[in-house]
Amino acid sequence: MAFDLQPHLKGELIELRPLTPYDWGELFAVASDSLIWEQHPESDRYREDVFRVFFKDALKSGGAFVVIDKQNQRIIGSTRFYGYDPERSEIEIGWTFLTRKYWGGRYNREMKDLLLAHAFQFVENVVFFVGETNFRSQKAMEKIGAIKVGTATRRYGNHPPATNVKYLIRRTKVDG
Q: What is the pLDDT of residues 59-70, one digit of tens each?
A: 999 999 999 999
Closest by Cα among 149, 139, 141 to 111: 141
Report the 10 Å Cβ neighbour count for 146. 23
pLDDT interval class at 80 (50, 70, 90): very high
Domain-wise residue ranges, the chain: 9-125
C-alpha to C-alpha distance for 93 and 127, rounded to whole angstroms: 6
Instruction: Name the fold adopted by 9-125.
Output: Aminopeptidase (3.40.630)
- Predicted confidence at residue 174, as pLDDT, reads 52
CB within 8 A of 87, min separation 6: which ones? none
Q: What is the pLDDT of residues 7-59, one digit of tens each?
A: 999 999 999 999 999 999 999 999 999 999 998 888 999 999 999 999 999 99
pLDDT interval class at 176 (50, 70, 90): very low
pTM for the full model?
Answer: 0.93
Is the model's pLDDT at 86 over the cut of 80? yes
